[in-house]
Amino acid sequence: MNQTVRITAAVELPPAFVLGAWRVFADRNEIEGPAGVVRLEPMAMRLLCLLAENAGRTVTRAEIVERLWDGRAVTHDAVTRQVAKLREAFGDDAREPQVVKTVPKIGFLLLVEPQRIRSEAAAADPSSPGAETPVQPDRRRRVWGVVAAALTVAAGAAVVAYARRPSGEFVAPAQHPVTAEVGRELQPALSANGAWLAYVGQPAGEPGVLYVRTLRGEARRLTPPGVEASRPAWSPDMARLAFVQKDARGCAVMVVSPLDGAIRQVGACRAADLGGVAWLDPDTLVVSDRASPEAGFRLSRLDLETGRLKPLTDSGVAGPYLGDTDPAPSADGERVFFVRTSTPGVADVYALDLAGGKVRRITRDNASIHGLTRGRDDRLVIASNRQSGASYSLWSLNARGSDWRRLTEDARAEYPSSSDGETIAFQRRDWQMGLWSAPLDAGEPQRLTATSRRDRTAAPSPDGRRLAFLSDRSGSLQLWVAEADGRAHQVSDFRTEMPREPAWSPDGRSVYLSVRTGSQFDLGRVDVATGAFQLLAHTPASERYPFWSRDGARLYFIRDEGSRLSLYERAADGRERRLVDDAVRAIEAEDGALYVQRLAAPGFWRFDRASGKLSKIGELAAVDPRSWTVAEGALWALDGSRADQLLRLDLASGAVEAVRSLPGVYPRAGLFVRDGRVVFSRVESENVDVYTVADRA
């Protein structure tokens, strides 16, 4: 798609400013105070910066609407909700305000004088000399205007608002297709001079073939039939390609010479095709692999001469798709940037100091990331859905974790690669996915929903007559409901939130789900009749996978507190209780028992709520937390090693049997079993091509 999209050029943000006992980190939507770190939604942070820009005077509601919503028509409550979120974050009382005061019939006044922090060192130690300096009245509007304007980008505001920025505009460069074959061309790798492209193709009947070509030339095959290649990476001298090979004997790290086609094995692996490979120097690779089939990914240094692996990182998590992946060494070879996924679908970028072994967190988006590479001037290029609903865009970010800059439109961009820093190759995915139903014993699957977009993550209503699901039919991921006659209608109207894991209330009037608000996930409720959305609570932690007890007395969910994943229950009066630690997901069976998937103690466990006892019922290797359910006396899961195979684990005996195949199933979109049938998301068509985009900013 050759078109340009106008987005805003980057602005170098002040790293922080101070409000009384609080430090405000505007570029990462966080405030830090006596109670610790609190994350703000992007819109609430923009409001805070607008009030700081105008500290000392009342900001009218009209001004707030003009600056935050670009003058679009919004309800009176829209502004009030953002003010309430600020007060909640600061622990402020509207009746006796200490931070934000309501001026009746006019607007809102910031009661605390903002102080500017001069440097990042001062931000880290506010007690150091010169850490805080008052913002003079004649400079306040200019300084805080920069912050508020830059947050327009971070919050994904309307394009028209970008024109109000005091800085220049950035025009997103055109995306140019490189491959156009029918099928899939995956995981591109650019050579150091940006002239040669390696990628994985999937011609008919073959899972993965390694090809090499110039950007405008003919492709040449490098790997023989009978093997599956993945994750190619060019050596710095462009004389070799490292890649992962899987065949009947297992998994191996290979090196091939594109000139003469000579291939040799340099190391063994278990699942490095998912984790990634990168060159640290001419004699060393960084490989993302598992220590065991149940472990999470970790980075290791691979010596090409000896084949020895030396572990570099340990994320401390276990399970499929989790851990440390996508290594990207810095230009000087002193650091390795990588992606760490601690919770399914939520990842951030980290940096490893090779000399000292220290790991530093760079981003705090908690978004989903599908690839990382090094770009211009040691900046990072990240494929992320941080502001793109269900789609992935390419973003450029400096190594400090500030100065985000968007490089592409929503293009379903994945696996970026760049060696010269100016040309970036990536895979662009166009696909169609619908909801399907299949009998458990035998028989052909039947289509439940028809769309040219993507329907996923279905949940049946308590009476079985309606189906809630997520879809991007309207352009962004929203909650939809299909009636018994097959007609479907959109229920939600999320603007910045990203919905996940829908679950019906026992009375069938509401759908509970987790939504991404800023840099975390929170629990919310959508009224099916009106579409009204209510956030249940905004805590410093992330909450995922909500579901109600069958008697309607308790809401269960998983809370991610950074160092701990736990199963919680929430009573009708709002009281909460932690039930099980090391719990990544839980489901209630017909008899009221809770079945829990754990990471540090892999397998599935039965939790007796009355006694508090856990008992292991069985173990299935590498099952994604989103691809299992409990119903009809069994636990049903998609095979972690063969995703299209449905398995049945008997709750009484622990015996496991293969039930049937589900062609085209998308394992990370959920499934459920009812009345002898399984409902799942099926990929109906898919085409992936390699594109390039230039970054010359």
DSSP conformational letter for 644: T
pLDDT at 289 over 90: yes
When pLDDT is averaged across residues 278-282 and rounded to a whole number, the result is 95
Q: Are 673 and 632 in contact (CB under 8 A)?
A: yes
pLDDT at 628 over 90: yes
According to the model, what pLDDT value does residue 158 have?
27
pLDDT at 221 over 60: yes
DSSP conformational letter for 365: -
When pLDDT is averaged across residues 281-290 and rounded to a whole number, the result is 94
**Continuous H helices in 360-502:** none
State the chain's mean pLDDT as an integer.
Answer: 83
Do 419 and 449 belong to one domain?
A: no
Domain final residue, candidates 138, 172, 206? 172
According to the model, what pLDDT value does residue 34 have?
67
User: Residue 36 forms beta bridges with which residues?
Assistant: 33
According to the model, what pLDDT value does residue 45 have?
86
pLDDT at 214 over 60: yes
Q: Which of 184-188, 336-340, 450-454, 459-463 has the lowest mean pLDDT?
A: 450-454
When pLDDT is averaged across residues 167-193 and rounded to a whole number, the result is 77
pLDDT digits (tens, 9 = 90+) for 45-92: 888 988 988 888 999 988 888 888 766 666 677 788 888 888 888 888
Q: Are 425 and 667 in contact (CB under 8 A)?
A: no
According to the model, what pLDDT value does residue 159 have?
26
Domain final residue, candidates 157, 172, 187? 172
CA distance 656 to 636: 10
Locate tokens 């209630």: which residue? 588
Do 458 and 495 belong to one domain?
A: yes
User: Residue 384 forms beta bridges with which residues?
Assistant: 369, 393
pLDDT at 658 over 90: yes
Do 425 and 442 belong to one domain?
A: no
CA distance 359 to 353: 6
Do 341 and 489 belong to one domain?
A: no
- CATH code of the domain in which 93 resides: 1.10.10.10
According to the model, what pLDDT value does residue 621 have?
76
Locate tokens 């049938």: which residue? 677
DSSP conformational letter for 140: H
Owning domain of residue 131: 5-172
Do 104 and 226 belong to one domain?
A: no
Which of 472, 475, 479 is closest to 500 using CA atoms? 479
CA distance 415 to 691: 11
Locate tokens 């995956």: which residue? 186
3-state secondary structure at position 420: coil
Do 378 and 488 belong to one domain?
A: no
When pLDDT is averaged across residues 184-209 and rounded to a whole number, the result is 90
Going by pLDDT thresholds of 50, 70 and 90, the confidence category of residue 697 is low
Do 462 and 369 belong to one domain?
A: no
The whole-model pTM stands at 0.63
Do 447 and 326 belong to one domain?
A: no
CA 321 to chain centre: 12
Angle separating helix axes 42-53 and 137-154, nearest 10 degrees: 170
DSSP conformational letter for 9: P
Going by pLDDT thresholds of 50, 70 and 90, the confidence category of residue 484 is confident
- CATH code of the domain in which 381 resides: 2.120.10.30
When pLDDT is averaged across residues 294-316 and rounded to a whole number, the result is 92
Establish how many alpha carbons lie within 13 A of residue 381's alpha carbon, considering only the half-sphere containing its beta carbon.
27
Domain final residue, candidates 147, 172, 197? 172
According to the model, what pLDDT value does residue 272 have?
66
| Domain count for the chain | 3
Do 354 and 477 belong to one domain?
A: no
When pLDDT is averaged across residues 471-491 and rounded to a whole number, the result is 89
Do 230 and 253 belong to one domain?
A: yes
Do 343 and 365 belong to one domain?
A: yes
Rg (alpha carbons) of the chain, rounded to whole number: 26
More confidently predicted of 429 and 167: 429
Which of 227, 226, 225 is closest to 243 using CA atoms? 227
According to the model, what pLDDT value does residue 149 have?
38
In the chain, DSSP finds a helix count (H) and a strand count (E) of 7, 57
According to the model, what pLDDT value does residue 377 have?
80
pLDDT digits (tens, 9 = 90+) for 102-159: 988 889 999 888 886 644 444 444 333 334 444 444 443 433 343 333 333 333 332 2
CA 573 to chain centre: 32
Do 395 and 441 belong to one domain?
A: no
According to the model, what pLDDT value does residue 5 have?
28
